[in-house]
Structure 1
Amino acid sequence: MVFTSPVERVVPSRVADEREALTQQLDFHRATLLRKLEGLDGELLRQPMTASGLSLLALVKHLAETEHGWFVNIYAGLSEPDLFSSDGEPDSDFRLAPDETADVVVGQYLRACERARAVVAAGELDDVVTTPSGAEANLRAILLHLIQETARHNGHADIIRESLDGTTGH
């Protein structure tokens, strides 16, 4: 079965206040990521396209973990386990287990994004937390980080998608 994105991509307002501008930009890039998967079957979504084995679905898995880590564990201060089993391996969020299908990974990503939206809605942009490395970060900086992280990986997804089937500009 081919993938169809369950979310609509909405162009961010150019006159929104700061909070809305940040959250709209992040939602735009989240939706863009899922558009990169449109029309591909599970095999192509899982197909490793780099020397390190990166695939489109692995990018979604990584960003699900990133959303969860930054918003739930770091900002909200909850000590929750990773969304996917890592077996203690570094960069395991960039690799897919055999049972991690598009439904499983995208479902987890959607839940992580929804949970992140709730955490952000309950917070203030100037709230400061301490990261695991000991650095301080406010919610504004965390949102900016997630925007750049998701946008950067959308660039990777562009290249992978074009390499898979020639599709550009999704």
Structure 2
Amino acid sequence: MATDDRADLKDFLLVRLQFNRDAVLWKVDGVDAHDLRRPLTPTGLNLLGVVKHLAVVEFGYFGDTFGRPPQIPTPWLEGEWSDNADMWATADESVDDIVGLYRAAWAHAQTTFDASDLTTPGVVPWWPDDRRDVTLGKIVVHMLGETARHVGQMDILRESLDGAAGLYATNDNMAHSEASALRDYVARLQEVADSVRGPR
């Protein structure tokens, strides 16, 4: 692959990463602090915790992996990880704190992006020995998958809270924009599901 092609691919991947990052913040916009924090699944998944988790993993993958550990306090690394410290916000951590942490992770990552190309080597110390040697390209793809997976979770959590759904603020990318059409669509799906349901 030519150098220009690699640069174009890097730019494309980073644009897609930022698209997903922006979606993360859109999913928490306009939700009150209580609903952002409360567990919405049996495993405790919560909207603000997902933002915190993504901030923490970006600091790790785009920072520590490439010899640039964050120069900030990292309380989520202290003590035992059994309480999923990076997956929920403490009472002392405001929404602005967590959103600010995520934006700080982006800025920290940018220093790695600016100094590196997709072939720049790194080491993920918490991965198994046989696969901890990586490149920036591999880690960007890893974080694209990580972020997209969590945005999908946030889609469902947010819709369960207040019905807000879609791709991003100015384009919901939903097939049915009218409430009545959406109700008809959901009713049709329920009818089909009921038609194939076996005896109970």
TM exceeds 0.5? yes
The answer to whether structure 1 residue 37 and structure 2 residue 28 are counterparts is: yes
Given that residues 76 and 119 in structure 1 are in contact (C-alpha distance below 8 angstroms), is that contact kept between their aligned partners in structure 2? no
Higher helix content, 1 or 2: 2
Q: How many residues align?
A: 155
Question: Aligned equivalents of 1:156 and 1:92: distance in 2?
Answer: 19
- Offset at residue 77 of structure 1 (A): 4.9
Question: Aligned equivalents of 1:34 and 1:78: distance in 2?
Answer: 24
Given that residues 120 and 136 in structure 2 are in contact (C-alpha distance below 8 angstroms), is that contact kept between their aligned partners in structure 1? yes
Say which SS state the counterpart of residue 117 (structure 2) adopts: coil
AA partner of residue 35 (structure 1): W
* Aligned sequence identity (%): 36
Who is 2:48 aligned against? Answer: 57
CA deviation string 1:140-165 (max 9, x = no partner): 01011111100110000001001111
AA partner of residue 168 (structure 1): A
Who is 1:121 aligned against? Answer: 114
Structure 1: which 5+ runs fail to align? 1-15
Given that residues 58 and 96 in structure 1 are in contact (C-alpha distance below 8 angstroms), is that contact kept between their aligned partners in structure 2? yes
TM-score (norm 2): 0.72
Given that residues 73 and 79 in structure 1 are in contact (C-alpha distance below 8 angstroms), is that contact kept between their aligned partners in structure 2? yes
- Offset at residue 30 of structure 1 (A): 0.4
The answer to whether structure 1 residue 47 and structure 2 residue 38 are counterparts is: yes
Structure-to-structure mapping, 1:63-142, within 5 angstroms: 63-78=54-69, 83-86=74-77, 87-90=79-82, 91-132=84-125, 133=127, 134=129, 135=131, 136-142=133-139
Given that residues 126 and 138 in structure 1 are in contact (C-alpha distance below 8 angstroms), is that contact kept between their aligned partners in structure 2? yes
Question: Aligned equivalents of 2:141 and 2:94: distance in 1?
Answer: 29
AA partner of residue 89 (structure 1): W
TM-score (norm 1): 0.84
Who is 1:159 aligned against? Answer: 156
Given that residues 22 and 143 in structure 1 are in contact (C-alpha distance below 8 angstroms), is that contact kept between their aligned partners in structure 2? yes
AA partner of residue 53 (structure 1): G
**Which of the two has higher C-alpha Rg?**
2
- Offset at residue 167 of structure 1 (A): 1.1
- Offset at residue 81 of structure 1 (A): 7.3
Who is 2:196 aligned against? Answer: none
Provide closer, same or farther for how the CA distance between residues 47 and 79 of structure 1 changes in structure 2, counting only shifts above 3 A: closer
Say which SS state the counterpart of residue 81 (structure 2) adopts: coil
Structure 2: which 5+ runs fail to align? 1-6, 169-200
CA RMSD of aligned residues (A): 1.9
AA partner of residue 111 (structure 1): A
CA deviation string 1:86-118 (max 9, x = no partner): 432233211221112111111111001111012
Provide closer, same or farther for how the CA distance between residues 26 and 79 of structure 1 changes in structure 2, counting only shifts above 3 A: closer
Who is 1:11 aligned against? Answer: none
